[in-house]
Amino acid sequence: MKKRHFPLFAARLCIFPLSCALALLLGCARPAWSQAQPKEGVDVGKPSSMARLVPAGQVEQAAGQQYEQLKQAAIQKNALAPPDDPRVRRIREVARRILPFTPKWNPRAAEWKWEINLIGSRQINAFCMPGGKIAFYTGIIDGLQLSDDEIAIVMGHEIAHALREHARERIAKQVATNAGANILSHALGLGRVGSTAVGASAGLLSLKFSRDDETEADTVGLELAARAGYDPRAGITLWRKMQAANKGAPPQWFSTHPGSANRIKEIERHLPQVMPLYQRALQAGVPVRP
């Protein structure tokens, strides 16, 4: 509920030349879909080419497996909300309206097998894993008494992480850091990168995004919500609620994000870009297609 053919190099290269070689490699291999940016709405620049160090399909497969494990654990605890739960219906309706706008940010999203579930827990938390696996915790809906507009802000933010492939980028950075010259020497052919990436993605749920990632997800999430007909100004009320919930230890969803005061300022800065999309959606009576 955020930049991202050479000869093979010998393993004895020092760290500085290795970093330069990585920069050259990534700079020459930008994904084709990153060239298209929205002509209206927000502009957050091109996604990081670092993510190309690991295969998207393998990261998404690992995410799907971990998501299924999470669901099974919730079922065993009788914590997976049934489809007829009013809160499940709410979050799935929000997703239904947002998802048509996801391919403009990442064409792979059109092929993802999206799934939205609600888990009974006091955690103030929500996430969207690579490949479109979404989970909300009852703590964030009930604890913060979220409106549908606020749910859309949270969901848009989390979906944006997946669309911009922030998890894949973080894994790629771990792979590059841990494997050094050996990974670079196999990067062009992706010889050992795939298996290394699967191991690095074993803890997708515990990945921490950078402040830049979070700001980017906030911004893209605002546009997704606005196009779907949800009020982007709800981002301000959401973060005020987050501030109030942060009197003690910060909630999990809050603790990995930049300070709420700064986020509110950023949201206010982008409102002129997204409010016209929201107003058009209201006038049309249906979500505005890109």
Answer positive or negative: Cα dihedral of 171, 68, 112, 124: negative
CA atoms within 13 A on the CB side of 101: 29
Whether residue 287 contacts residue 97, with contact meaning beta carbons closer than 8 Å, is answered with yes
Residue 276 to residue 112: CA distance in whole angstroms: 29
Terminal CA-to-CA distance of the chain, rounded, Å?
A: 21
Q: Where are the alpha helices (DSSP H) in 7-79?
A: 15-27, 56-76
Q: Is 158 a catalytic residue?
A: yes
Q: Which of 158, 169, 223, 266 is catalytic?
A: 158
Question: How many residues in total does the chain contain?
Answer: 290
Whether residue 118 contacts residue 136, with contact meaning beta carbons closer than 8 Å, is answered with yes
What are 214's two structure tokens?
Answer: 């979070």
Whether residue 129 contacts residue 208, with contact meaning beta carbons closer than 8 Å, is answered with no
207-to-9, 166, 170, 258 alpha-carbon distances in Å: 30, 10, 8, 15
Give me the residues paired with residue 127 across strands.
135
Whether residue 2 contacts residue 212, with contact meaning beta carbons closer than 8 Å, is answered with yes
Residue 238 to residue 151: CA distance in whole angstroms: 9
Dmax over Cα atoms in the chain, in whole Å? 63
Residue 187 to residue 24: CA distance in whole angstroms: 12
Which are the catalytic amino acids?
Answer: 158
